[in-house]
Structure 1
């Protein structure tokens, strides 16, 4: 890894910057909230949110477990040196070999499919200890806030239709220890009501099944790094009030699996204006960045952004900021009545660390450089891909 001193040094755009001090400060707020409200806890960093090797290794050094949902992510955690029993293995597409290995290594494994139940027959009896992911009607509990509304979520074993009860009985017949429950649910709001519902469901399940639980896994989906949104302390305080009525803090760990909450805010994407053109309809400002690098699914309507202009210019009624791709809808935003942008000016997009690097397509250009900023110095932690990296492992 090379070191580039001084942020003023000209770097080749586009590139990402991980602001380490902001990342660490935000993560400390999460840990402080966990310590305050449930001292017996585990933070599992969500690999799917951003699995850049520097990022996942850094969260490992901060004491996080690796929260993984596939064979590839499981093996990546091992490759970067995560301790063999510091992995949380979730999701419905585990492979049989890694499922068995994870249990034998003492990992936290939350089952999410019928085939995993059958695989338990091939696990040493003493190692048959699992968590169960629970599917429940979050839309009914939080109207208008769930992602799937009347269609319902597809992960876990359904509480309402009795599927969870069947799975519990089947596991008990196999002498499998149920050590935890996993209640992560996706929401549109990321609001406090979602976590109130999760905590209430955990208590409801405990009342019915009387488990001897080593952990409650509430998943992720929190806000983080935004002063205008709910803070970690608010989420944890709310869940503490509910969960502590049915669970002993010293006996049962609380697991959180943040992704966006800890990695979304502290990453920026730096681009440069490469051309300006006028048409009958618009002034188009073309940059060497692309919307697909900060909004891969192209669902957002606005982005946090700032400018670095070479000089002050007159205001322009309308400037359409575009990316480098050949897609007409690679338009990032429209600047209304703002100073004129010229070739060489920079546009910096902030809070773009979640679901960007892992979803960015290899379309027209390849992965850009990534730097870590600390003490006003930049250290490169991923070199931009070139054609040599693109054809690697391909047969020509």
Structure 2
């Protein structure tokens, strides 16, 4: 028992040594945890639908090291703009291993992607018109489907009253018109893209996606190379649905109308694979008592882990020296001049002081790519592997901020 306590103390000391070694704030990507989580997704696909493509969602976190790492793991690049499409090419993704989605493709990148035999899912009427300029043998696209997910999963969609805005609407006949138009243009419909945003990320959403895929296949007599179910899964949280639950559920439905050996299942995870294995390290720089509260000021900011400031709690822990008295209430704040840069209230926790560390966990999704250049610039990013940290992005300084600007 004494040995276990000593080992625990030693681990804490070692961790603190590593924290002190680097200037805060900074992100750490835990490579082993990332790979372990990714392999769970891969194993689920190989078990239930061993004819698949994993497309990593660039918009979730497009840090160059991250997207290059997912490329090395065999992922396609899932991109939704010309910038993301060109970024994939720049880091060396094979030209035919890019998935091109979204409503803001440019004409030139759209035509190039088809020429390169990328997976292109059309989302707008203008893309249908652009197909006239594509040689016949390259006219192969998927279609983004707009369907009433709220009707199928009451209370779980993000826009229950207004409906989703992406893709061609099935219920009002727009999808039928587009399919007819594509056939007239001698376009091969290679797949359907069914990603839908939900509040729940629950299994019911993917049951509905699989059911609508089968319904469309039968109604329009589609011979598809792939069914793209998009992303939106949970990942890295033991209390939430696991990858094998999502894939097994969809396999049970999709296998009734699609042949696994002929039709690929495409998934486009973002948060599910990069959300959990990233932490954000901050340090207490001041403690201030007022008439109303004790404010703990840190050199981090809420906008670096919750850019839209919508969350009410965060996975966090403290790294402090020795035992401390309990304080009834402390408000942990960021460095910005915004009053609402307040991260959380710590009730009946250790009394914090300057030099203490606050570590935020599971912050890899929609953080680095959405962090504003407000007051301070982008922080350092490290990758942890085998206990060692390697810097993969240096913090921005005014030099990086003014690049490509005209000063006179």
Q: TM-score, normalised by structure 2?
A: 0.95
Partner secondary structure for residue 133 of structure 1:
strand
Distance 1:151 1:207 in 2: 28
Is there any run of 5+ residues in structure 2 with no aligned partner, and where? 1-16
Tell me the residue number matched to 1:158.
169
CA deviations 1:192-228 (Å, max 9, x no partner) are 0000000000000001011110000000000000000
Alignment equivalent of 2:323, drawn from 312, 329, 334: 312
Tell me the residue number matched to 2:107.
96
Instruction: Map 1:368-383; keep pairs closer than 5 Å.
Output: 368-383=379-394
Instruction: Map 1:28-47; keep pairs closer than 5 Å.
Output: 28-47=39-58
Asked if 1:182 is matched to 2:193, the reply is yes
Partner secondary structure for residue 7 of structure 1:
helix
Q: How far apart are residue 310 of structure 1 and its match?
A: 2.1
Higher relative contact order (CA 8 A, sep 6+): 1
Distance 2:71 2:19 in 1: 31
Tell me the residue number matched to 2:5.
none
State whether residues 7 and 377 of structure 1, in contact with CA within 8 Å, keep that contact through their aligned partners in structure 2.
Answer: no
Distance 1:212 1:201 in 2: 15
Distance 2:19 2:167 in 1: 50
Q: How far apart are residue 311 of structure 1 and its match?
A: 2.6
Tell me the residue number matched to 1:207.
218
Distance 2:123 2:69 in 1: 28
Distance 1:8 1:113, change over 3 A: closer
Tell me the residue number matched to 1:329.
340
Q: TM-score, normalised by structure 1?
A: 0.98
Distance 1:370 1:30 in 2: 25
Alignment equivalent of 1:124, drawn from 110, 128, 135: 135
CA deviations 1:163-204 (Å, max 9, x no partner) are 000000000000000000000000000000000000000000
Tell me the residue number matched to 1:20.
31
State whether residues 310 and 344 of structure 1, in contact with CA within 8 Å, keep that contact through their aligned partners in structure 2.
Answer: no
Alignment equivalent of 1:340, drawn from 351, 354, 363: 351
Distance 1:113 1:68 in 2: 16
Partner secondary structure for residue 370 of structure 1:
strand
Distance 1:347 1:168 in 2: 54
Tell me the residue number matched to 2:256.
245
Alignment equivalent of 1:140, drawn from 151, 155, 168: 151
Tell me the residue number matched to 1:360.
371
CA deviations 1:93-124 (Å, max 9, x no partner) are 00000000000000000000000000001111
CA deviations 1:32-56 (Å, max 9, x no partner) are 0000000000000000000000000
Distance 2:26 2:328 in 1: 29
State whether residues 7 and 376 of structure 1, in contact with CA within 8 Å, keep that contact through their aligned partners in structure 2.
Answer: no
Distance 1:326 1:311 in 2: 32
Is there any run of 5+ residues in structure 1 with no aligned partner, and where? 1-5
Q: How far apart are residue 312 of structure 1 and its match?
A: 1.6
Alignment equivalent of 2:282, drawn from 243, 253, 271: 271
Distance 2:26 2:349 in 1: 24
Structure 1: 4+ residue segments shifted above 3 A: none
